[in-house]
Amino acid sequence: MKNLARSERLAIDVSNITNLVLFVAKVYASIESRSLAVIASTLDSFLDLLSGFILWFTSYAMRNPNQYHYPIGKNRMQPVGITVFASTMATLGFQILLESARELVVGTHPNNDHDNEMWVIGIMVFVTVVKFILMVYCRRFKNEIVRAYAQDHFFDVITNSLGLGATVLAVRYQWWIDPVGAIIIALYTINTWAQTVIENVRSLIGRSAPPEFLSKLTYLAWNHHEEIKHIDTVRAYMFGSHYFVEVDIVLPKDMALHEAHNIGEMLQVKLERLTQVERAFVHIDFEFTHVPEHSNGKV
């Protein structure tokens, strides 16, 4: 397990360092070619670096909570950071889209310097090959973060290939292929990160857990202790990257307070052992015909 964890950290570190080096190379290619498709691909690489920094910063902040200012921790910083980053990414992609449309209207032709063209082709091919190797390497691991890097490398292979193909075809055949390629990359970028924004916003506003997870919670609660007579409510909703869980159980009304407390507390501990659960709240009652304690009728 230690060797596996070390290999996973190595894969992440290699990915981050390689992203930085390849980004510098693509900046040079963008300056030399002035191709919108290459610039759009370079923008995608820059935002990969920015996303890595945001995830690192939020992870660092989450590991150093202030229990007085943030009593329940800072786990919601990660979806907030991702939402801010993804919104920026979609906005910059929209800017590339507008610039590409402007070039199509104006009819700006790309740089036809064949010496620069060979440099740009060499750099973009090198970047694409390295990204492909990193994608294959990272896919060997089951760690979700490492596999996310593998997915990111795969996206880079696609955008780099599109950028390179659009640039070469524009120089050698039709000039309009370059802005059209940039538009395709921009639309792909906007669509990808818009979906990320929607997913993280849903997690921040308290979207309910799927029925399968609620069934698991119900099963755990019902089989927790033989004295549980009824289960009044089982509720789970996103609160950042994990779930908040609320369970109402019914115990005999003549049960001693310390026994009821121990049953409820142990159920809370059991639920919070689930990796998807951040906090669990167990309410104990002696009947289940009452009106729910918490109303959602606030305006």
Domains and CATH numbers, the chain: 2-204 (1.20.1510.10), 211-285 (3.30.70.1350)
Q: Would you say 267 and 233 are in contact if contact means Cβ atoms under 8 Å apart? A: no
What are the C-alpha distances in Å from 14 to residues 142, 263, 272?
17, 48, 34
Report the alpha-carbon distance of residue 190 to residue 94 in Å, rounded: 7
| pTM assigned to the model | 0.57
pLDDT digits (tens, 9 = 90+) for 214-269: 999 999 999 999 999 999 889 998 877 788 899 999 999 899 999 999 999 999 99
Percentage with pLDDT > 90 across the chain = 16
pLDDT digits (tens, 9 = 90+) for 97-118: 777 777 677 665 555 555 556 7
pLDDT digits (tens, 9 = 90+) for 158-197: 777 777 777 777 767 776 777 777 778 778 777 777 777 7
Report the alpha-carbon distance of residue 167 to residue 110 in Å, rounded: 8
Report the alpha-carbon distance of residue 207 to residue 213 in Å, rounded: 13
Among 245, 248, 250, residue whose Cα is nearest residue 271: 245
Could you tell me the two tokens for 254? Answer: 């003549």
Percentage with pLDDT > 70 across the chain = 66
Which residues, listed in sequence order, are joined to residue 277 by a DSSP beta bridge? 243
Side chain identity at residue 39, one-letter code: I
For 200-275, strand residue ranges (E) read 230-238, 243-250
